[in-house]
Amino acid sequence: MIKIGKRIISKDSKPLIVAEIGINHFGSLKVAKKIVDEAKKNNVEAIKVQIHIPEEEMNFAAKKIKPGNSNLSIFEVIRKNSLTLDEEKKLKDYIHKKKMIYVATPFSFKAVDWLVKNNIKLIKVGSGECNNTPLIEYICKFKIPMIVSTGMNNLRSVERTVKIINEYKIPHALLHCVNLYPAKKELIRMNRMLVMMKLFKKSIIGYSDHSEGNNMSILALSLGAKVIEKHFVLNKKRVGPDTICSMDGKDYQIILRARDEIYDALSSNKEIIDEEDVTRNFAFHSLVASKNINKNVRIKREHITTKRPGTGDYLAFDMKKVLGKKTTQLIKKDDFIKIKYLKK
C-alpha cells in the first residue's frame, strides 16, 4: 500500500491516474504552469514531472544517439526541453498549491538528492532506470514510496529490481510499459501486466500508456490496473516529441469516467444482491405439483416439477429436500409445494 497524504493506492483502492507532463512544456515554466492549470481544471489528481540534469545523467556519447521520436540527439532533446532546478522547485510548489499529488522521475543520483532535499513523497522510476540497480538501491535508502515502469526489461530484470525494493520494504507499484512513442497496439502485450500480477503479489500493478488514444488505458483498468500513467499536453495540435501519445483534458475525462465505472463494476465476490429481487422473483423456478397429490402421500419425482415464478417456499434446487416427505393435505396440480403441506 502506498499512502500520499489521505490518498491510498492499493489493490483495493480506486486506481490513480497520473498525468505526466514530461518535457511537454518544451523547457518553459510558463507553459508547464499552464499544463498544470489545465490538469487541475479537469480534476487531475496527480501530476508527474521529470527532473533532468543533463550532464549528470548522460555522457558525451548521448550527443550521437537520436531517440525514435526526434531528429535531435537525446542530449539535445533533454537539454533543450528541461527546466532548471530553480524552475522545477517553482513548479513543484505550484502543483502543491493546486493541491495535486506531485510525482517526479529522477534520471541521476543528483536528481534523487534534489528530490529528497525538496521532500518528495512519491518517486517514479522510469523504464530506463528499472535495471539501474545502483540507482534503485540509492532511492530505497531514503524510504520513499516509488512507482517503477518496466518497459524494455524482461521479467528477470524486473525480479532483480523488485527484490531490492522488497528488501528495503518500500511501498511500490510496477507499471507495464512499452517504450515506443507511440506504442503500436500489436506491441502492447497487455497480458504481461496480468503475468506481473501473478508473479509480484506484494506489488501494486499498473500501466504506463504510450499508445495513441485512450483504449489501452481503459483496457488496463478493466484488467485490474491500479495506476495509470499517460503523458498530458495542453494542446494536442502542438507538435512535440510526446504529443502523439499524450492525452489532453478531454481524453483525461474519458479515462476518468471509465475508471470510475470500471471500479464500481469490478467486485471480488459473487453474492446475491437485494436489487436483483425484482428480476429474481419472476426468473427463478419454484417447486409445484405436476398433478394432484393426496394427503399422506410420500412425494416422488413424478409428483413435482419446476415452474416460474420463484416466490414459492421451495425453489428448484430444493427438490431433494422435498422428495420422500409425506403430505399433510391435498396439494392441487400447479400449486406451490409449501412448507405447511409437508410433514417435518
Check if CATH label 3.40.50.1820 holds for domain 274-341: no
**274-341 has the same fold as 13-265:** no
Q: pTM here?
A: 0.88
CA 288 to chain centre: 49
Predicted confidence (pLDDT) at residue 341 exceeds the cutoff of 90:
yes
For the chain, the farthest-separated pair of C-alpha atoms sits apart, in whole angstroms, at 99
pLDDT tens, position by position, 12-27: 999 999 999 999 999 9
For the chain, the structural domain boundaries read 13-265, 274-341
Q: Greater confidence, 242 or 83?
A: 83
In CATH, the architecture of 13-265 is: Alpha-Beta Barrel (3.20)
**C-alpha cell at position 339:** 412448507
Cα distances from 97 to residues 38, 94, 116, 197, in angstroms, run 14, 5, 19, 35
Mean pLDDT on 315-340: 97
| Residue 22 parent element (H or E) | strand 16-22
pLDDT tens, position by position, 118-157: 999 999 999 999 999 999 999 999 999 999 999 999 999 9
